[in-house]
Amino acid sequence: MAQSLKLTLKRPSLWGFTAPLTAAVSAAFGYIAGTSFGNPLTGIVAGAFIGGILAALMHPMAEKRMMARLGVIAIFFAAGLFATNLGGGIAAGLVGAVLSWFVFWIDTGDYRKGVPIYYTGGQTLWHNSFLFICGLIFFFLIAPLFPVMWLSFNAQDFFTFTPEMLAFDPEGYSLKHYRDFLTTDEWMQPLKNSLIIAPIATVISVSLGTLAAIGLSQSHVPGRQTIMAVLISPMIVPLIISATGMFFFYAPLGNWLELTLGLNKSFVGYVKVILAHAVLGVPFVIITVTATLVGFDRSLTRAAANMGANPVTTFFRVQMPLILPGVISGGLFAFITSFDEVVVVLFVGSAQQQTLPWQMFTGLREQISPTILAAATILVTISILLLTTVELLRRRSERLRGLSPS
């Protein structure tokens, strides 16, 4: 009975399905390559021809796909290296890797994996097209980061790729821009300011945001929706409007602190920037903690109260350990917001509070230096590490709440 219910997918036709699709994808790569050489039409024709031949040659090698793919990558790499340089060889090798994967994905019917067996051809096409569109959007979101990170290793003081870089010549690469970033006060002082402002603003955001989220999670609080809308408004209102409002609010506050309390002007400047960044970070904490509280078992706090624990003890011994992943996630988002923010600090801060993004913005306006690219690369790396931590904490939170398998 089990054998009669087992369904096998018929292998697609080579010339009626696999070869035309491979030729179309290869023609797209050919158009890109042809455009770079000033002859896109020739690139399209050559790409389509290569794609069709590649599909025909790889069709009998479905059982040895890894060997076949390595062979295609090696051939494309050698062709690119011979026609241009090492950079062209690497680019051609990447194209060969994509095309060889696509051939087997189509030719072996892998494109139907993950698709319900009852889907029609049109539904299967839309399913895979949707995944492709999502991947394309993701690519266009992160693609601008790669040239910035690549150019940060430029041995010359240019914002463009030199022939040595494109040829992957070691002489075209250098770490001098990173040395400039790490050894000059022009960059280290803004970095120190960012490392002072962002952590303190994060602590304030986490403290206020967590308390607000816990309070708004109580059903008896009147006007919860209105209060929530007000608290997360800094995330919704355009940043330039928020920055203008903060300027008119914190300027008199700063004057009062200096004239009435006699506080140092530089210290007051740090206070204003920290409070402004804390306001920007509170919405992230509220949203993440509120999402964590959705799966929180209220009977635990009632049980703690029945055992004689006061509200403070209940919070730190019962509630906080369970919502900690959400609190840390919100704190990381608040830290990233403060560390990368430039508009508000331009309005509220002064030269003494110049942060790293402010220095980068000023450098782009006044003196074009590739050191900006090194600073941007460091910021991107920090953001990636923090967002990876957020994702790990999110998965841990789901496991603690029983929303995903361990």
Go through the domains of the chain in sequence order and give each one's CATH number: 2-112 (no CATH), 179-400 (1.10.3720.10)
Higher pLDDT, 54 or 168: 54
In the predicted model, is pLDDT for residue 132 greater than 50? yes
Provide the pLDDT confidence category of residue 8 given band limits of 50, 70 and 90: low
Provide the pLDDT confidence category of residue 122 given band limits of 50, 70 and 90: confident
Convert the pLDDT of each residue in 309-363 to its tens digit.
787 888 888 788 878 888 888 898 899 889 888 899 989 888 888 898 888 888 7
Q: Which of 360, 37, 39 minimizes the C-alpha distance to 194?
A: 360
Rounded CA separation 342/260 (Å): 29
Average pLDDT, the chain: 85
- Name the H helices within 294-370: 299-306, 311-314, 320-340, 343-348, 356-366
In the predicted model, is pLDDT for residue 4 greater than 60? no
In the predicted model, is pLDDT for residue 38 greater than 50? yes
Contact 268, 258 (CB under 8 A): yes
**Quick check: helix, strand or coil at residue 173?**
strand
State residue 406's pLDDT score: 47
Convert the pLDDT of each residue in 43-66 to its tens digit.
899 999 999 999 999 988 888 889
Provide the pLDDT confidence category of residue 3 given band limits of 50, 70 and 90: very low
**Quick check: helix, strand or coil at residue 197?**
helix
DSSP codes of every residue in 32-77: HHHHHTT-HHHHHHHHHHHHHHHHHHHGGGGGGHHHHHHHHHHHHH
How far is the CA of 357 from the CAs of 49, 344, 376, in angstroms? 49, 11, 9
State residue 24's pLDDT score: 92
In the predicted model, is pLDDT for residue 300 greater than 90? no
State residue 74's pLDDT score: 94
| Dihedral (Cα; 299, 304, 310, 315), 10-degree rounding | -70
